[in-house]
Amino acid sequence: MDYIDSYKVQGKIANCAGEGKCGYTTHEELAVAYSQMLINAKHDANIYNLNGESITQQQLTQYLNDRFGTTLSYRYMTVEAFKQDRIDELGEFIGTVIAGIYEQIAIGAMHNQSDFAKVVGREHMSWTEYFNN
């Protein structure tokens, strides 16, 4: 969501994640989970994955198109090409970090079981519900 304006200008989402899935979340859902972790001692010293349903970049693109009335497409880039693109725009350090994140999505490292319901006591908001709000 933070990059929708850039995506609109470019007409696409381009990265090296391919068909990898990533469990995204929202600031609002994180706020709910964090508040529960702060007020309930049973969460002390625990580590949680607080993501929603894992989706592909193609699914993310479609959700954005449905919500914003755009015609974005998803374009796969090789890891090397994406890394260079990010370095060119963001500098060596941040560009390398961002490329590494998307490379991890591609290999399945970001397709994690979520602990959101365990922390909050309800399921994470669905992406359809979120984008229809």
d(CA 58, CA 17): 10
Question: For the chain, how many residues are written?
Answer: 133
For 74-93, write each residue's pLDDT tens digit: 999 999 999 999 999 999 99
pLDDT tens, 36-61? 999 999 999 999 999 999 999 999 99
Residues 6+ apart with CB under 8 A from 118: 48
DSSP conformational letter for 107: T
Q: What does the CA dihedral 103, 7, 27, 22 come to, rounded to 10 degrees?
A: -30
**pTM, full prediction:** 0.86
